[in-house]
Amino acid sequence: MAEYKRPKSLMPMATGYCPGCLHALATRLVADVIDELGQAENAINVVSVGCSALNLYSWCGDVIGSAHGRAPAVATGVKRCLPERLVFTYQGDGDLAAIGLAEIMSAANRGENFTVVFANNQTYGMTGGQMAPTTLLGQKTTTSRDGRDCLTTGYPMKMCELISVLEAPVFVARYALNTPKGVMDAKKGIKKAFEKQLRGEGFTFIELLTNCPTNWGMNPLDTLEYMNTNTIPYFTPGVFKDKEAEK
Amino acid sequence: MEKRFMKGCEAIAEAAVRGGCRFFAGYPITPQNEIPEYLSWRLPEVGGAFVQGESEVASINMVYGAAATGKRALTSSSGPGISLKAEGISYLASAQLPAVIVNISRGGPGLGSIQPAQSDYLQATKALGHGGFRAMVFAPATLQEAVDLTYNAWDYAERYRNPVMILMDGCLGAIMEEVELPEMKNSNPEDIEDWCLDRIGDRTDSHMITPILPEPALELLNKGKAMQYKMWEMLDTKVEEFMLEDAEYVVVAYGIAARVAKEAILRLREEGYKVGMVRPITLYPFPKASLNNLDYTKVKGVIDIEMTIPAQMREDIELQVKDRCPVHEYGRSGGMLLDDEGVYEAIAEIVKGGE
Ligand SMILES: Cc1ncc(C[n+]2csc(CCOP(=O)(O)OP(=O)(O)O)c2C)c(N)n1
């Protein structure tokens, strides 16, 4: 039977995330994979601005905090100077799909040999639940009190779909963390992305659909059901690009 | 030592490589394009990396990442691009990362003009970004000086773990002069293994590079930096004092303005007028003593000459003159250049009017 242990890559402390927040699970999955690949000392965690900035303090290995949206640029600088290291960014959807759009698209298009882990909780968690580029139509936030209206704010942005039309990325996939199967698949996807990076294959992008019980105003269990009925039908999980499989 | 006839931007690019620079990221903007163009082929020759960023914002953050690895990293830009780098430069300061930023300045504000101007003094010396930090600002007046200052810029950046700026205007970036190029420096900087992300030696502990700190730690950092800025003032101020001994009028000018002013001063000296010059080479730390210690029983006026309107260095000058004599200013702006005749006339009018 599998043992449930704290990954070596995480400090023996509480993460600081709200109860039921899937950021904690997503972070744990990344840490597990790094442990399994024996990369704890070789990994460099490029932390972004958002709730996941908490990882600055809970991560055991080398870590660098970056400006809001700029993690892919910071990772570019790091990886170009230290090509042997396992470099990854971990970014929220405001960070990656709004303020950091230029950086993510450009790093993906250059085919930078690092991995982006994108935690999509459809809101700006850290700043108190404002509308994000990924907020679902009709979803209520502190800046869309009557629900997101496509007439004035457009549509939720599908980052996997956008990135997979670029030539350079080698692996682009989306997973939902609201079911055990989704979690297991996500872990396999993260592992595959890291392995590709370690082989020098190029840019890899993993989107993880997560929740935000606090700002969605729901208890954690309800968020999982909400994801089933609302998030997943719009943000379809799956592999959007796998250069190996295309061959 | 190797002598070459070089254009300003290319001379500092080569000096950077010889000074150990192994990473550059930047975005095209006139009048500094020759720097990225040169480094795009030159850095790979020495095993370095060149990235053309998607913006100045991205470029400064690439430099932030590269600097964190312990590599000597550079970015360059002008006016609008430096404004975009402001957040990133502030992050370099808070994460205590060494890096060099070159500003080949042009007419402002706004998109302004692509012609040369000294319009970024205040930005460079008072607030390169938010949050209240300072960076050393070197302002060469000749290409040889530009080469020497660039060559050594990372030594300062690493010693103080702080970004360093080289500020020169578009004239200096575009002119050609003979320069003596120094030998290639050892590109493995010392004392970086304690903090950088590279695993140097057999490091097993982990390193955190962070632009955010718990409040007491942030206050401690700021207090330490305040002391460091005082230390720069004592140890690292660079200034040229020209014909000051008997001077009755003292011109204060840096960079290209100082070159033009020097010609005017020599002409006035030939006519028998006692004019001298204080030329700050470090704009920050500002050479306070050179102005504070003037003999104000003799000095009848101080003349601030800058290629920008209104003059931006004036407050720094006035703080040292302390009303002991009048402070005058003359400049051109918006990409209109200072010329020999205009500067001579401006100084002559003050000097001769004072008789
Ligand atoms: C330049 C800049 N603008 C705004 C902010 C404020 N800010 C901090 S976190 C954040 C939102 C993060 O949201 P997201 O990326 O979705 O991550 P989450 O907190 O939801 O995990 C914002 C806007 C900032 N730190 N820097």
Are the C-beta atoms of A135 and A144 separated by less than 8 Å?
Answer: yes
CB atoms near residue A141 (< 10 Å): 21
pTM for the whole thing? 0.97
How many whole angstroms separate alpha carbon B168 and alpha carbon B87? Answer: 21
State in Å: Cα A118 to ligand 1 middle. 14
Q: Evaluate the CA torsion angle B36, B84, B74, B104 in order and state its sign.
A: positive
A221, two tokens: 């269990």
Closest-CA residue, ligand 1 atom 24, reads: A68
Which residues in B lie closer than 8 A to residue A41 (C-beta atoms)?
199, 204, 206
Q: Which fold has domain B239-353?
A: Rossmann fold (3.40.50)
- Residue B193, helix vs strand vs coil: coil
Backbone angles phi, psi at B49, to 5 degrees: -120, 140
State in Å: Cα A86 to ligand 1 middle. 25
The answer to whether A76 contacts B51, with C-beta atoms less than 8 Å apart, is yes
State in Å: Cα A90 to ligand 1 middle. 13
- The CATH number, out of the four listed (3.40.50.300, 3.40.190.10, 3.40.1190.20, 3.40.50.970), of the domain defined by the range A23-129+161-246: 3.40.50.970
Residue pairs between chains A and B whose CB atoms are closer than 8 Å: 119
Q: Classify each residue of A17-55 as buried b or exposed e, where b means 16 or more C-beta atoms within 10 Å of its C-beta.
A: bbebbbbbbbbbbbbbbbbebebbbbbbbbbbbbbbbbb
Are the C-beta atoms of A159 and A242 separated by less than 8 Å?
Answer: no
Residue B88: which of A56, A67, A85 has the nearest Cβ?
A67
Closest by CA to A111, choosing from A85, A77, A87, A76, is A76
Q: Name the CATH superfamily for B2-235.
A: Thiamin diphosphate (ThDP)-binding fold, Pyr/PP domains (3.40.50.970)
Task: Determine whether the shortest distance from the Cβ of A169 to ligand 1 is under 6 A.
Answer: no
- pLDDT tens for B166-181 read 999 999 999 999 999 9
**C-alpha A197: how far from chain center:** 16
How many whole angstroms separate alpha carbon A74 and alpha carbon A63? Answer: 12
Closest by CA to A123, choosing from A30, A217, A53, A48, is A217
pLDDT at B338: 98
Q: How confident is the model at residue B147 (pLDDT cuts 50, 70, 90)?
A: very high
Is the pLDDT higher at A247 or at B200? Answer: B200
pLDDT at A1: 60
CA distance A145 to chain B (A): 31
Are the C-beta atoms of A107 and B57 separated by less than 8 Å?
Answer: no
DSSP B65-123: HHHHTT-EEEEEE-HHHHHHHHHHHHHHHHTT--EEEEEEEBS-STT--SSB--TTHHH
pLDDT at B187: 56
Name the residue of chain A whose CA is nearest to B23's CA. Answer: A81
Average pLDDT, chain A: 96
Sheet holding B249-252, edge to edge: B239-242, B275-280, B249-252, B301-306, B327-331
pLDDT at B236: 98
In the predicted model, is pLDDT for residue A113 greater than 90? yes
pLDDT at B355: 58
CA distance B135 to chain A (A): 19
Q: How confident is the model at residue B191 (pLDDT cuts 50, 70, 90)?
A: confident
Task: Determine whether the shortest distance from the Cβ of A132 to ligand 1 is under 6 A.
Answer: yes
Backbone angles phi, psi at B350, to 5 degrees: -70, -45
Q: Where are the domains of chain B?
A: 2-235, 239-353
Q: Where are the domains of chain A?
A: 23-129+161-246
Closest-CA residue, ligand 1 atom 9, reads: A50
pLDDT at B201: 84
Q: Classify each residue of B124-147 as buried b or exposed e, where b means 16 or more C-beta atoms within 10 Å of its C-beta.
A: bbeebbeeebbbbbbbbbbbbbbb
In the predicted model, is pLDDT for residue A247 greater than 90? no
The answer to whether A67 contacts B197, with C-beta atoms less than 8 Å apart, is no
Average pLDDT over residues A9-31: 95
Longest alpha-carbon distance in chain B? 73
Average pLDDT over residues A189-193: 98
Backbone angles phi, psi at B239, to 5 degrees: -155, 150
Name the residue of chain A whose CA is nearest to B89's CA. Answer: A67
- Please tell me what DSSP assigns to residue B269: H
The answer to whether B207 contacts A106, with C-beta atoms less than 8 Å apart, is no
Side-chain half-sphere exposure of B21, counting CA atoms within 13 A? 33
* Topology match between the domains B2-235 and B239-353: yes
Q: How confident is the model at residue A4 (pLDDT cuts 50, 70, 90)?
A: confident
Return the percentage of chain A with pLDDT > 90, whole number. Answer: 94
Top mutation candidate among A22, A126, A208 for ligand 1, by most atoms within 8 Å of CB: A126
Q: How confident is the model at residue A68 (pLDDT cuts 50, 70, 90)?
A: very high
Strand partners, A241: A172
How many whole angstroms separate alpha carbon B157 and alpha carbon B143? Answer: 21
State in Å: Cα A87 to ligand 1 middle. 22
Backbone angles phi, psi at A209, to 5 degrees: -75, 120
User: E strands of B237-291, at which residues?
Assistant: 239-242, 249-252, 275-280, 282-284
pLDDT at B202: 83
In the predicted model, is pLDDT for residue A177 greater than 80? yes
Task: Determine whether the shortest distance from the Cβ of A68 to ligand 1 is under 6 A.
Answer: yes
- The residues near B351 (Cβ < 8 Å, ≥ 6 apart) are B248, B249, B268, B273, B275, B301
pLDDT at A86: 98
Categorise residue B24: left if φ over 0, alpha if ψ from -120 to 50, beta otherwise. Answer: beta
Top mutation candidate among A27, A49, A91, A120 for ligand 1, by most atoms within 8 Å of CB: A49
- pLDDT tens for B293-341 read 999 999 999 999 999 999 999 999 999 999 999 999 999 999 999 999 9
pLDDT at B209: 98
- pLDDT tens for B77-87 read 999 999 999 99
Closest-CA residue, ligand 1 atom 25, reads: A68
pLDDT at B186: 75
Q: Evaluate the CA torsion angle A183, A223, A6, A75 in order and state its sign.
A: positive
CA distance A212 to chain B (A): 23
How many whole angstroms separate alpha carbon B120 and alpha carbon B101? Answer: 13
Helix, strand and coil content of chain B, in percent to the nearest 5, comes to 40, 20, 35
CB atoms near residue B235 (< 10 Å): 9
Q: Which residue has the tokens 């690493």?
A: B158
Closest by CA to A26, choosing from A227, A210, A212, is A210
Which residues in B lie closer than 8 A to residue A44 (C-beta atoms)?
197
CA distance B156 to chain A (A): 21
In the predicted model, is pLDDT for residue B190 greater than 80? no
How many whole angstroms separate alpha carbon B295 and alpha carbon A14? Answer: 65
Task: Please report, as a single letter, which amino acid is at residue A16.
Answer: G
State in Å: Cα B215 to ligand 1 middle. 19
Task: Please report, as a single letter, which amino acid is at residue A147.
Answer: G
Q: Report the complex ipTM.
A: 0.97
In the predicted model, is pLDDT for residue B224 greater than 80? yes
Average pLDDT, chain B: 97
